[in-house]
Chain A
């Protein structure tokens, strides 16, 4: 039971809004100490895992210079101009289309997306522009909501397409864990049984983006009327 103290540290630390890095490190140190490790051993584990997991940070670091350069030369502005011409576009439809593309491509093992590479420079600006073209000036709060949904579209597409069709990564891990217990499961079966959830996830996104489009319309309508110069 005492080993769960790390989870408690995280919960309390997050609730009290301490610096997240500090909370995480404190949780690791406390958990290590109650499990009987020395301070240097714990530092060694932090070092080992920090180095092993550099791949998590790598795409963001390598992506930012080119994204920054393209943004300086009007990438977002151009994406917005393009979407304004599409009559049928709404913020919700743009995001749902992105989720679908993401689910299908990741199912074939191709990782096209990413928050740094696709969502910030293209998907979020396009969704914002679609809402802007339809409703005019958007309240700041609405813009924040649209952007958060763009991040959600990326995550849902990424997570719930991955384990279908041409299984990679996660499915191999599943098979490995089961095999270690003497339970056989074919890769084909594991991938096949990812499909119902992939469909359900797309359905949930469809519902969420409809709610988003309603919410945008409502928030724009509730906005105090502007003094129009014309």
Chain B
């Protein structure tokens, strides 16, 4: 039994999303009130009751959300935040104390990961140790919220108003990571990976040790770019290219191959809009006009690190 598990935080997020739906409906400056409220309401239900609903029902709810987004039934509220002058005055009043709640988020993550996840009375655990990264960051956000409310002496509903405004700016992109994860799941159920690995293996002269390394690292990066997720690409490309050619045929070291192979996948993550939680959601959060700017910025970085990976693997995998 875990006191603070993922379901606790899903429920809290669900209640907040319901309040966002209510805000959207009540907001006269929101140009698409009904569509927006319906979208956030459906998402709230998935967070509150996702585990208890049949998967097919959730699937059709997701379809409805996609239709709302695709037919442009969602809008951004016109009401802006408080004026810059007021924010500057608050910054002058609170001085560096304003950082306290913001720094509590990483501090709680440290304490949660290294300490709280180990506290238990018999079988009763404080923090869900299986999902400690997500649960301690979530806990950090709530701790920071309580401290921030005391510090700023804001009304308890102010964070809901501000959070709701920011969430509606992010808009439908918020659920893109979950959608892409679902697509990745369907791809692997349908056996897409085996086809890709087979194609690469047949198209390239893998009898050369360097070509095997190149095909594996580039294959990891490319397939990660298609799937948006290196974890999904790893088993497919490793079983399809890495193990048969680098290890079995050329006698490479499997640990070196696998460690650097996964990191080559991460290079792919940097270079694809499919990894929405890393590349698209941040573009929305940072108010970037072109939502592919982050991917474009990371393109040379990803290619450079990938080249380094290929070099490191080629010089080490057949030697150690």
List residues of chain A with CB under 8 Å of any chain B CB: 1, 3-4, 6-7, 10, 14, 18-22, 24-25, 27-28, 31-32, 34-35, 37, 40, 42-79, 81-82, 105, 109-122, 124, 144-145, 147-152, 154-156, 158-160, 163, 168-171, 173-174, 177-178, 181, 183, 185-186, 189-194, 196-197, 200-201, 203-205, 207-208
Q: Kindly state the separation between the CA atoms of A6 and B158 in the bound complex, as whole angstroms.
A: 44
Chain B residues positioned under 8 Å from A70 (CB to CB): 98, 101-102, 148, 152
A46 touches B90 (CB 8 A): no
Q: Kindly state the separation between the CA atoms of A190 and B258 in the bound complex, as whole angstroms.
A: 7
A159 touches B266 (CB 8 A): yes
Q: Kindly state the separation between the CA atoms of A5 and B163 in the bound complex, as whole angstroms.
A: 39
A47 touches B59 (CB 8 A): yes
Chain B residues positioned under 8 Å from A57 (CB to CB): 13, 174-175, 177-178, 277
A54 touches B178 (CB 8 A): yes
A-B contact pairs, 15 of them (CB 8 A): A19-B69, A25-B62, A46-B62, A48-B185, A49-B185, A57-B13, A68-B162, A71-B162, A73-B90, A73-B148, A110-B106, A177-B235, A196-B312, A196-B316, A204-B305
Say how far B307's CB is from chain A's closest CB, in angstroms.
9
In the complex with contacts A1-B195, A77-B87, A119-B282, A69-B148 CB distance below 8 A: yes
Q: Kindly state the separation between the CA atoms of A6 and B228 in the bound complex, as whole angstroms.
A: 13
Chain A residues positioned under 8 Å from B33 (CB to CB): none
A197 touches B260 (CB 8 A): yes
B234 touches A174 (CB 8 A): yes
Say how far B110's CB is from chain A's closest CB, in angstroms.
5
The contact size tier of chain B is: 35 or more
Q: Kindly state the separation between the CA atoms of A72 and B82 in the bound complex, as whole angstroms.
A: 6
Most chain-A Cβ atoms within 10 A of its Cβ — which of B92, B160, B192, B259?
A: B259
Q: Which one of B50, B91, B183 contacts A51 once the chains associate, using CB atoms below 8 Å?
A: B50
Which residues of chain B from 56 to 73 have any CB-CB distance to chain A below 8 Å in the complex?
56-63, 65-66, 69-70
Interface string of B244-287 (1 = CB under 8 A from A): 00010000001110111011001001100110111111110111
Interface string of B85-108 (1 = CB under 8 A from A): 001111111111011011001100
Chain B residues positioned under 8 Å from A61 (CB to CB): 13, 16-17, 47, 167, 174
**Closest chain B residue to A114 by CB distance?**
B137
Is residue B138 within 8 Å, beta carbon to beta carbon, of the partner chain? yes
Chain B residues positioned under 8 Å from A112 (CB to CB): 105-106, 109-110
Chain B residues positioned under 8 Å from A53 (CB to CB): 177-178, 181-182
Q: Which one of A20, A81, A193 contacts B255 once the chains associate, using CB atoms below 8 Å?
A: A193
A55 touches B131 (CB 8 A): yes
